[in-house]
Structure 1
Amino acid sequence: MSNIAPHLPLRTERHALEAAAAAAVRIAQLANDPAHNEQLPSRQAQWLSDYGLTAIGVPAALGGLGASILTQVEVVRIISAADGGVGQLLQIHYVMLRGILEDYSKTARQRIVSDVLAGKRLANALAEVGGKNKFALKTRVERRADGQLVLNGSKFYSTGAYLADWIWLAAASEQGGAGIWLHRDTPGLTLVDDWRAFGQQHSVSGTVRFEDIILDADYVLLREGPMKRTGLTFPQILHAAIDTGIAAGALQAGVEYLRQHARPWVESGVDRASEEPHVIRQIGEFALALRAAESLLREAARLFDQHLQDEHDTALQSELILAVATVRAHSDSASLKISSEMFSLLGASSALSKWNLDRFWRNARVHTTHDPIRWRLHHVGNYYLNGVDPGEYTAILAKGEQGRDRGQ
């Protein structure tokens, strides 16, 4: 693994995993130091590019590796074990790359894919604050009298945008929803470093503002027809990879602390904390929770790759949605459980800021608020109890919008 050097093109999926492991070592060295908690992850983001990880999703026909979903999921998991926030930078990059490959003009696709192959990074600006929900968009595209499209508005939770080269956003228009790509140097675009959260600081999910931006029609896509039923399955499985990675990082850090720094309890009668039977049992429980999440993650990823061979198979769509919902629930639970409860084994000194062990819980607690697990459980339960086909919320919301349009 150590012989993978930055800037080398990755030509096999094994090399991609080795490169991820090598990059993770460097990222973890910074993450271990609490002095880096509040700093922009500029170096970490650049390492994702330098190690070739940002380009693995580009199809082989376009000059990339064409990595499987399983490999992309594994890469996000490996990086997230080092730093969940940096893992989220990679997660949103992969999601946005998949979007440009599926839609948009040839001009936009060639330009952005070429930049990705050169190490450039992608991000998004989707959610807004202050509305009924995050999809109640105030950001709008208007067509002026001269025919030009002009964009105005503001976004928050713009994951990775501050450090990205290309930013995708959703806006409203008279013709419905619009998906827009903007280069970071676009006149009228302002990126603000104002993400201040107690966890996932390195996801840099702050504000993006758009002021009288004249759009290039090649980089604008007006939504036509319903959203894909499985449209959110890819970002969802990558979110599960982030949480699974955080759980793995927390367990590894806890084990290292137990071996090197923790003292046994006075009643234990053993010389080392790692020999305490209660500690051993609890670490076993943590390991089982992690192994379950990892197994479910890989199984869902393999199912995703199978789904891509026949995306119109509705039974396979349902199975994929259920599998991803399952791993989301398990990874959510594992990340929170391990990152929080491990302190009961490590002793009071483990709470000292110099160890920075709380970063795993902070990252898990913030990231798991992203998409409520209660609704993933609802879809699974509704399927088993009432036979209701499971879906992702974008498709469900779109179906509701269509019903209202027809007066239903």
Structure 2
Amino acid sequence: MSKVEQQPAGQRVQEQAPIRLLQSEDQAIAVARDIAREIAEIAADTRQNGQLPWRQAQLLSESGLTAIGVPKAFGGLGASVQTIVETVRLISVADGGVGQLLQIHNVMLRGIFSGYADEIRDRLIRDVLAGKRFGNALAEVGGKNKFALKTRVERRADGKLILNGSKFYSTGAYLAEWISLTAASDDGGAGVLLNRNTKGLTLVDDWEAFGQKNSVSGTVIFDNIELDEGFVSPRKGPMKRTGLTFPQILHAAIDTGIAEGALSAAVDYLNHNARPWVESTVEQASQEPHIIKQIGEYAVALRGAQSLLRDAARVFDQHELDPDNKALQDELILSVATARAHSDAASLKISSDIFSLLGASSSLSKWNLDRFWRNARVHTTHDPIRWRLHHVGNYYLNGVDPGEYTAILNAKETQGATRPAQ
């Protein structure tokens, strides 16, 4: 049964312990490894299945990981993309859904540094440094495509901006302090930031998918919300060509993490619970030559995904230093698409196929090993890999500049897709 939060919803957000201010990127990675162990213990416990990840989200904040993307000039660590990617990957080894909470927080955090007045930005930064998190409310259901937004900002007769509509796939919003959303208006698309205590905002825990349950990607409803115009950012000009590479590389980090978690769990089961097949003549399942070979294949798939992810993150940091370099833009789009394709394949292959080695007993609910496949199968539907492959193939075959669907979004905006029909 879905759980609904009528405001003030903020009363449900747990009080947090003092937030750590991480001093280095190495420390951030070490901390991610540490809290991933606790998150992994929670994820493995079947009693936690279907429970809201309050504790896991609290760990992300208290550890300081949610603040590492704040630039040094604003009091944060100013972590590189390489480090942010690695922290999301490490958390996803433990639980892909919790990794997605961190992923979307980092994506939404980057959005506050453009389009908002300094005082709004500074308030949001203070909240992030205090451990507050961002969730999103971007996608809707029922429209012709993902750009056909029904959620609208309109100016009332008294001059007030009013928000009405609803969103689904609102990752992390149910647990977040700030919700970042997109809406249509008479003047085109706009970004809006809402605090969870905003009057007229309803958060619904109705994410009923069979996987990625801890992403809490349910419904958010906006009912005649009076907006503070300082928290509304009209879309000005086209989205930059590489605008989706940051969320995309973090999605690759999630899938790479899920693949590693599945392989690690399989190895542990083989060493401690599996029996060798009767024809093998060995004493332990881990000594079966066919199992050894297959684990080697999984490891090669995983290592390939990890290497491509690291390479894409390295290219991303180069791009950040020279964002107008066309060759670097091309390489970033291609490398992120490649990382996504390999992480997609590795997570699905390993998480699904391990049961052929572990035996029928491994399918018992008490082991909870299906959580990796459930998370991989749901998360990899997020953005079709076939279109990432299309752009790569079109570049190599026909010399067409690689792109993302930012080009489609910009075209839709130019055509007035976010404005009312005439």
Give the shorter-chain TM-score range: over 0.9
For residues 249-290 of structure 1, give each alpha carbon's deviation from its aligned partner in whole angstroms, at most 9, with x where no partner exists: 000000000000000000001000000000000000000000
Which residue type is aligned with residue 88 of structure 1?
A: Q
How big is each residue's C-alpha offset from its partner over 1:29-54, in whole Å with a ceiling of 9 and x where there is no partner?
10001111100000000000011100
Distance in 2 separating the partners of 1:169 and 1:109? 16
Match status 1:293 vs 2:305: yes
Q: SS state of the match for residue 176, structure 1?
A: coil
One-letter amino acid matched to 2:231? Y
CA–CA distance in 2 between the matches of 1:102 and 1:339?
A: 39
Give 1:224 deviation, angstroms: 1.4
| Alpha-carbon offset, residue 89 of structure 1 | 0.1
Aligned pairs for 1:196-345 within 5 A:
196-345=208-357
Name the SS for the 1:85 alignment partner.
Answer: helix
In 2, Cα distance between equivalents of 1:399 and 1:296:
31
Counterpart Cα distance in 1 of 2:304 and 2:399: 26
Contact 1:6 1:51 in 2 (8 A): no
Q: CA deviation at 1:8?
A: 2.6
What is the CA distance between 1:401 and its match in structure 2? 4.3
Partner of 1:187: 199
CA distance in 2, matches of 1:146, 1:85: 43
Work out whether residues 6 and 52 of structure 1, in 8 Å CA contact, stay in contact via their aligned partners in 2. no
Alpha-carbon distance in structure 1 between the residues aligned to 2:302 and 2:373: 15
Residue 267 of structure 1: SS of its match in structure 2? helix
Q: Which residue of 2 aligns with 1:101?
A: 113
User: Once the 2 structures are TM-superposed, how far is the Cα of residue 398 of structure 1 from its aligned partner?
Assistant: 1.0
Classify 1:332/1:187 alpha carbon distance in 2 versus 1 (closer, same or farther; 3 Å): same
Match of 1:13 in 2: 25
Q: Which amino acid aligns with 2:179?
A: I
Matched residue count: 401
- Opposite residue 370 of structure 1, the aligned amino acid is H
- In structure 2, what is the Cα distance between the partners aligned to 1:142 and 1:404? 16
Residue 403 of structure 1: how far off its partner (Å): 6.2
Q: Is residue 142 of structure 1 aligned with residue 166 of structure 2?
A: no
Residue 121 of structure 1 corresponds to 133
Displacement after TM superposition at 1:190 (Å): 0.4
CA distance in 1, matches of 2:333, 2:301: 21
| Residue pair 2:140, 2:146 contacting (<8 A) in 1 also | yes
Secondary structure (helix, strand or coil) at the match of 1:136 reads coil
Aligned residues with identical type, % of pairs: 72
Q: Is the 8 A contact 1:231 1:395 kept in 2?
A: no
Query: TM-score with structure 2 length normalisation?
Result: 0.94
Q: How far apart are the structure 2 equivalents of 1:244 and 1:233? A: 16
Structure 2 counterpart SS, 1:398: helix
Is the partner of 1:103 in helix, strand or coil?
A: coil
Alignment correspondent of 1:375: 387
Cα distance in 1 for partners of 2:18, 2:300 equals 35
Give per-residue Cα distances to partners, 1:198-235, cap 9 Å, x unaligned.
Answer: 00000000000000101111110111111110110000
State which of 383, 400, 409 in structure 2 corresponds to 1:388: 400
Q: Contact between 2:147 and 2:412, CA under 8 Å: does it hold in 1?
A: no
Residue-by-residue CA offset, 1:364-406 (whole Å, 9 max, x unaligned): 000000000000000000111111111110233313543689x
**CA 8–224 in structure 1, closer or farther in 2 if over 3 Å, else same:** closer
Q: CA deviation at 1:6?
A: 7.4
Asked whether the equivalents of residues 249 and 360 of structure 1 are also in contact (C-alpha less than 8 Å), the reply is: yes
SS in structure 1 opposite 2:223? strand
Q: 3-state SS of the aligned residue for 1:308?
A: helix
Distance 2:415 2:143 in 1: 21
Q: Does 1:90 align with 2:102?
A: yes
TM-score, normalization by structure 1 = 0.97
